[in-house]
């Protein structure tokens, strides 16, 4: 890689990227893992059977919180989102593995987060009772203008330091948490359910959650992929209040 900084014009996004890049996950994984306790080696027969006939067992495991059978699967996602999302994301440590792009080893690209028109901007209420409501047109315009100007100024300062020979790992300190980063995140269904229970709002949730909208956007897209891979497990999760077993 050249040490000469690239001349790239800043761009702005209001969305996130979530791609399922690899998986070994299906409802049958829950069944053979659960049935080994009573069937031993015969539980391997579940690998070739239709899991639909055993959806009652999946529901029982979810309802009574027998969680370990939901760990015998794997999903790897490629995620592109603002840095502040990843800092919240990495609060989730059990059952997760992460590898993120490094500002020490590559020149960071000028892609920045600006909330879309549907992002509620105004926070009301006291701690524990927060409510977010839509901002005015003036507030929306102010947010967009201020963020974009700040991003442009910060990235110009970053480029100036790189051009002067300052190390990437030092120059990156001037960049804001609205900068987009990318990472691979690998989890199993149990750890994903715990994440979703905390980071998404849902009408079927027994326990209310109040996530920041941007990390909820990531969670929603991860859930769409998972629901396709493990539809019976996903249905049981919803049926039992979206509480991880």
Residues annotated as catalytic are 199
C-beta neighbour count of 199 within 10 angstroms? 24
Q: What residues have CB less than 8 Å from 220, skipping those under 6 apart?
A: 200
CA distance 13 to 16: 8
86 touches 181 (CB < 8 A): yes
Helix, strand or coil, per DSSP, at residue 82: strand
CA distance 3 to 236: 52
The candidate with the shortest Cα–Cα distance to 172, out of 181, 188, 161, 187, is 161
196 touches 223 (CB < 8 A): yes
88: enclosing H helix or E strand = helix 83-89
CA distance 9 to 152: 9
174 touches 154 (CB < 8 A): yes
- The residues with which 179 forms a beta bridge, in sequence order, are 112
Q: What are the residue ranges of helices labelled H in 164-239? A: 168-171, 189-199, 213-229, 231-239
């Amino acid at each position: 890689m050249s040490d000469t900084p690239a001349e790239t014009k800043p761009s702005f996004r209001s969305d996130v990227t979530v791609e399922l890049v690899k998986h070994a996950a299906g409802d049958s994984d829950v069944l053979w893992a659960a049935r080994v306790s009573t069937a031993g080696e015969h539980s391997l027969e579940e690998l070739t059977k239709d899991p639909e006939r055993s959806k009652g067992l999946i529901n029982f495991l979810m309802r009574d919180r027998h969680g370990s059978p939901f760990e015998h699967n794997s999903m790897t996602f490629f995620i592109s989102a603002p840095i502040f999302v990843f800092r919240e994301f990495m609060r989730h440590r059990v059952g997760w593995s992460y590898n993120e792009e490094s500002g020490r080893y590559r020149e960071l690209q000028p892609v920045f987060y600006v909330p879309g028109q549907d992002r509620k901007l105004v926070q009301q209420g006291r701690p524990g009772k927060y409510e977010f409501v839509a901002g005015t047109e003036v507030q929306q315009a102010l947010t967009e203008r201020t963020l974009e100007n700040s991003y442009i100024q910060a990235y110009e300062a970053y480029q100036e330091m790189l051009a002067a020979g300052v190390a990437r790992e030092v120059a990156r300190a001037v960049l804001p948490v609205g900068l987009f980063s990318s990472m691979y995140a690998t989890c199993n269904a149990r750890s994903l359910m715990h994440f979703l229970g905390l980071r998404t709002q849902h009408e079927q949730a027994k326990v209310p959650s109040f996530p920041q909208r941007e990390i909820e956007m990531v969670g929603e897209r991860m859930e769409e992929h998972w629901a396709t891979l493990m539809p019976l497990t996903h249905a049981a999760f919803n049926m039992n209040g979206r509480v991880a077993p």
